Amino acid sequence: MFDIQKIRADFPILKRKVNGYPLVYLDNAATSQTPQQVIDAIVDYYSNYNANIHRGVHTLSQEATDAYEKARQKIQHHFNAKHAHEIIFTSGTTHGINLVANGFSSLLKKGDEIIVSALEHHSNIVPWQMLCERTGAILKVIPMNTNGELMMDVYEDLLSDNTKLVFVNHISNALGTINPIKKIIDLAHNAGAAVLIDGAQATPHVKADLQALDVDFYVASAHKMCGPTGAGFLYGKEDWLNKLPPYQGGGEMIAEVSFEKTTYAGLPHKFEAGTPNICGGIAFGVAIDYMNRIGFDNIANYENELLQYATKKLLEIDGLKIYGPDVSGAKTSVISFNIEGLHPYDIGSIVDKLGIAVRTGHHCAQPIMDFFKIPGTVRASFAFYNTKEEVDKLVQAVIRAKGMLS
């Protein structure tokens, strides 16, 4: 049962006021809000069993280790990975991408090609440019059309025997486009290339099946799925993770250390140097449980209703343009828009005065803004705890901002 009022009651922050108005939080693509169940798990950890993991024989250390490893299994089962040791805890999506990009330094040579898409967040562009600088590999880009959809025919032409790796987001944070990742993965594999999918924007909305996708690497962040910041995961197929060298050296990631030679621990520890975000990992597991109790089908249906409703209402405003795929197509609950003649920042500032949180700017995706020849957009992004009444408030606030700024 999808009881929106009961769900909203789980999120203490939704009771607060901003600038004298009840908070309307529509910046979920940047970070989601945290339910009491996850907050309680964080308090419980620090109140009752805060200890370093994997090393201690004492009770607290064992309790913390058990909870942390259980969280790894929750991630494994939720995303249907074959093995728990294919799940590497990270500080988030950015960390996971950098780990893989760093590992490929020793696998690429001058003239090898790697392929990105025009729809990416900077964190799925910059680490690969750095990799190209280190190795002499060449970065190619799958272009997009004016609907913000990838041009798959060009992608097929870009693939060749020289292609070693393809990295694309599952869902675009700037436009909400859902990319045809299964097709992208299959085509890359036919060409002999590996694939990394940036799932940062997808995991709050859809449940990816990693084995069915047959993807080589998948990365995401806990804080977009009702979990804490500073936690996330990298999934890698066992063979790939064995092939990649460690990212950082330190404690926890070794088998034996001497000044003559150090050997590394097996998976997943090889990639988890140092004391990790223990509490963050555990709370991530609790957040996944929370979202599963609501149900991803329920979440997708409800958010799609909000998307359709908000799109229709916003488009009734004269001069308002929405960027990205048509709402009947492959799109999730992100609306990126501008009003002719107005700067997105000014609209964002005025709606904030009315208690409404939206994001303005380039959304860490400058190439997309350059493509549309705009400085940025106003982005409203919805979660399952938003309501149609909140959409109405957004629409009224945008109308008011337009009136003040025109």
Using CB under 6 A, list all residues that contact ligand PMP.
30, 92-94, 121, 123-124, 169, 173, 198, 200-201, 221, 364
Closest CB to ligand PMP among 170 and 393?
Answer: 170
Closest CB to ligand PMP among 221 and 377?
Answer: 221
| Residue in 142, 159, 160 with CA at minimum distance from that of residue 151 | 142
Closest CB to ligand PMP among 27 and 112?
Answer: 27
Helix ranges restricted to H, 136-251: 152-158, 181-190, 210-213, 238-243
Closest CB to ligand PMP among 102 and 169?
Answer: 169
51, 108, 159 from 190: Cα distances, Å: 47, 19, 9
Tell me the torsion sign for CA atoms 93, 97, 98, 103: positive
188 and 156 in contact (C-beta within 8 Å)? no
Query: Considering the complex, what minimum distance in angstroms separates the CB of residue 78 from ligand PMP?
Result: 18
Query: Considering the complex, what minimum distance in angstroms separates the CB of residue 95 from ligand PMP?
Result: 7
| Residue in 129, 217, 209 with CA at minimum distance from that of residue 168 | 217
Closest CB to ligand PMP among 205 and 402?
Answer: 205
The question of whether 364 is a catalytic residue gets the answer yes
Give the pairing type, strands 262-264 and 320-323.
unpaired
Query: Considering the complex, what minimum distance in angstroms separates the CB of residue 325 from ligand PMP?
Result: 16
User: Which residue type, as a one-letter code, is found at position 119?
Assistant: L
DSSP labels for 344-405? HHHHHHHHHHTTEE-EEE-TT-HHHHHHHT-S-EEEEE--TT--HHHHHHHHHHHHHHHHHH
Query: Considering the complex, what minimum distance in angstroms separates the CB of residue 204 from ligand PMP?
Result: 10
Helix ranges restricted to H, 210-277: 210-213, 238-243
Query: Considering the complex, what minimum distance in angstroms separates the CB of residue 283 from ligand PMP?
Result: 15
Tell me the torsion sign for CA atoms 270, 271, 273, 276: negative
Query: Considering the complex, what minimum distance in angstroms separates the CB of residue 172 from ligand PMP?
Result: 7
Bridge partners, residue 27, by sequence? 381
Query: Considering the complex, what minimum distance in angstroms separates the CB of residue 223 from ligand PMP?
Result: 6
Closest CB to ligand PMP among 191 and 299?
Answer: 299
Q: What are phi and psi of 356, to 5 degrees?
A: -105, 125
Residues in Cβ contact with 71 at an 8 Å cutoff, skipping those fewer than 6 apart: 281, 282, 284, 285, 286
Whole-number Å distance between alpha carbons of 373 and 297: 36
Residues in Cβ contact with 211 at an 8 Å cutoff, skipping those fewer than 6 apart: 80, 81, 82
Query: Considering the complex, what minimum distance in angstroms separates the CB of residue 232 from ligand PMP?
Result: 6
Closest CB to ligand PMP among 25 and 49?
Answer: 25
| Residue in 176, 218, 226 with CA at minimum distance from that of residue 199 | 218
Task: Please pick, among 132, 226, 279, 364, the residue that the annotation labels catalytic.
Answer: 364
Based on the number of CB atoms within 10 Å of its own CB, is 211 exposed (0-12), middle (13-18) or buried (19 or more)? exposed
Closest CB to ligand PMP among 24 and 200?
Answer: 200
| Residue in 44, 83, 27, 359 with CA at minimum distance from that of residue 223 | 27
- As annotated, the active-site residues are 364
